[in-house]
Amino acid sequence: MPVNPNSPESRDVAYLVHPNTNLRAHEENGPMIIERGEGVYVWDNGGKQYIEGMAGLWSTSLGFQHERLVAAATKQMETLPYYHLFGGKSHLPSIDLGEKLMGLAPASVSKVFFNNSGSEANDTAIKIIWYYNNARGRHLKKKIIGRVNGYHGITLAASSLTGRPINHAGFDVPLQNFIHTNNPHYYKFGEEGETEEDFATRMADDLDKMIIDEGPETVAAFFAEPIMGAGGVVTPPKTYFEKIQAVLKKHDVLFVADEVICGFMRTGNFWACETFDIKPDILVCAKALSSSYLPISGTIISDDIYQVIADASAKLGVFGHGYTYSGHPVAAAVALETLKIYEEEDILGHVQSVMGHYQERLRSFADHPLVGEVRGEGLIGATELVKNKETREAFAPAENVGGIISDYCLKHGLILRPVGDAMCFCPPLIITNSEIDNLFDRYSKALDEGLDHLTKEGKAVA
User: Phi first, then psi: what are they for 258, rounded to 5°?
Assistant: -90, 100
pLDDT tens digits for range 30-46: 999 999 999 999 999 99
Q: Of 222, 224, 211, which is closest to residue 261 (Cα–Cα)?
A: 224
Q: Is it the case that residue 187 has pLDDT exceeding 80? A: yes
Q: Is it the case that residue 462 has pLDDT exceeding 60? A: no
pLDDT at 3: 64
- d(C-alpha 331, C-alpha 297), whole Å: 10
Contact between 297 and 115 (Cβ < 8 Å): yes
Going by the DSSP 8-state scheme, the letter that residue 459 receives in this structure is -
Distance of CA 417 to the CA centre of its chain: 12
Give the mean pLDDT of 285-306: 98
pLDDT tens digits for range 142-154: 999 999 999 999 9
Q: Is it the case that residue 460 has pLDDT exceeding 90? A: no
Where residue 407 falls (left for φ over 0; alpha for ψ -120 to 50; beta otherwise) is: alpha
pLDDT at 119: 98
Beta bridge partners of 64: 39
State the CB neighbour count (10 A cutoff) for residue 20: 9
pLDDT at 380: 98
pLDDT tens digits for range 39-86: 999 999 999 999 999 999 999 999 999 999 999 999 999 999 999 999
Q: Is it the case that residue 314 has pLDDT exceeding 80? A: yes
Rg (CA), the chain: 22
Q: Is it the case that residue 28 has pLDDT exceeding 70? A: yes
SS (H, E, C) 431-447: CCHHHHHHHHHHHHHHH
pLDDT tens digits for range 211-224: 999 999 999 999 99
Q: Of 330, 369, 354, which is closest to residue 462 (Cα–Cα)?
A: 369
| Domains along the sequence of the chain with CATH | 32-65+346-456 (3.90.1150.10), 68-344 (3.40.640.10)
DSSP for 142-160, written as a single string = -EEEEETT----SSHHHHH
**Which uninterrupted H or E stretch holds 282?**
strand 282-285
DSSP for 14-44, written as a single string = HH---TTS-HHHHHHH-PPPEEEEEBTEEEE
Contact between 442 and 409 (Cβ < 8 Å): yes
Beta bridge partners of 188: none
Q: Of 10, 21, 18, which is closest to residue 45 (Cα–Cα)?
A: 10
Distances (CA, A) of 55 to 58, 138, 262: 5, 42, 13
Q: Is it the case that residue 1 has pLDDT exceeding 80? A: no
- Strand 178-181 with 111-115, pairing: unpaired
**pLDDT > 90: percent of the chain:** 98
User: What amino acid occupies position 40?
Assistant: V
CA angle 34, 35, 38 (to 5 degrees): 95
Q: How confident is the model at residue 210 (pLDDT cuts 50, 70, 90)?
A: very high
As a whole number of angstroms, the longest Cα–Cα distance in the chain is 70
Q: Is it the case that residue 240 has pLDDT exceeding 70? A: yes
Q: How confident is the model at residue 458 (pLDDT cuts 50, 70, 90)?
A: confident
pLDDT tens digits for range 85-96: 999 999 999 999
Q: Is it the case that residue 172 has pLDDT exceeding 60? A: yes
Q: How confident is the model at residue 4 (pLDDT cuts 50, 70, 90)?
A: confident
pLDDT at 461: 64
- d(C-alpha 453, C-alpha 462), whole Å: 13
Going by the DSSP 8-state scheme, the letter that residue 249 receives in this structure is H
Q: Is it the case that residue 327 has pLDDT exceeding 60? A: yes
In 325-400, which ranges are E strands? Answer: 371-377, 380-385
User: 139 in helix, strand or coil?
Assistant: coil
Contact between 203 and 125 (Cβ < 8 Å): no
Q: How confident is the model at residue 279 (pLDDT cuts 50, 70, 90)?
A: very high
pLDDT tens digits for range 349-388: 999 999 999 999 999 999 999 999 999 999 999 999 999 9
The number of helix segments (H) and strand segments (E) in the chain equals 16, 15
Query: Judging by beta carbons within 10 Å of its beta carbon (0-12, 13-18, 19+), is residue 155 exposed, middle or buried?
Result: middle
Residue partners of 434: CB distance under 8 A and separation at least 6? none
Residue partners of 186: CB distance under 8 A and separation at least 6? 196, 199, 237
pLDDT at 2: 53
**Cis before 174? omega within 30:** yes
Give the mean pLDDT of 414-424: 97
Q: How confident is the model at residue 457 (pLDDT cuts 50, 70, 90)?
A: confident
Q: Of 254, 270, 252, 250, which is closest to residue 262 (Cα–Cα)?
A: 270
- d(C-alpha 87, C-alpha 44), whole Å: 45
pLDDT at 5: 87
